[in-house]
Amino acid sequence: MRLIYCAALQLILDWCSFRGVSTTVDPYWDISLDVGQEALLSPSADGPHISLEDCLQRYIRPEQLGSAAKIKCARCETYEESTKQLTLKTLPMVACFHLKRFEHNSKHRKKMDTKVYYPQFIDMTPFTAAYRERSIGHEKKSNSVVADALTKNRNK
């Protein structure tokens, strides 16, 4: 069963202008996807809806952890706010998605009626660590090309 359903999730904590980074890789058996709030912002005639791809995109987007979760930077000796980024380090043969369909607050729990649209087949590549690393590398490279072009034009 482990060979079929288990894979690796990568968590990157990023803080400080000196590029403080911590990377952790842990096994996962399923991916818990929130189907809440943003689906309610785009309701359709048949009620609130969201796609599986949108849920996955929300799952891997960077999350600012705020002042309650500051990390002490060993290099500059200050407490810094951090950003958390989840990506899929490896993919299982069979992916299981846990759709979190309950909304909790201090007084009650409510089941959401959000419809989740999912394709027959899904390309999981955009949600992987390797894809993100390639994208960031390409972004840095194109930014440096633009910066080089601007510098060359100024020196003329």
Domain 2-143 annotated CATH 3.40.50.10380: no
Residue-level pLDDT at 154: 44
The per-residue b/e assignment along 49-88, b for 16 or more CB within 10 angstroms, e otherwise, is bbebbbbbebbbeeeebeeeeebebeeeeeeeebeebbbb
pLDDT at position 70: 84
pTM of the entire predicted model? 0.75
10-residue mean pLDDT series, the chain (156 residues): 92 79 93 76 68 93 86 80 92 94 79 87 94 72 43 45
Reduced to 3 states, what is the DSSP secondary structure of residue 111? strand
Rounded distance, CA 110 to CA 43, Å?
A: 18
**Amino acid 137: pLDDT:** 62
Predicted local confidence at residue 125, as pLDDT:
95
The answer to whether the beta carbons of residues 34 and 98 sit under 8 Å apart is no
Longest dimension (CA), the chain: 67
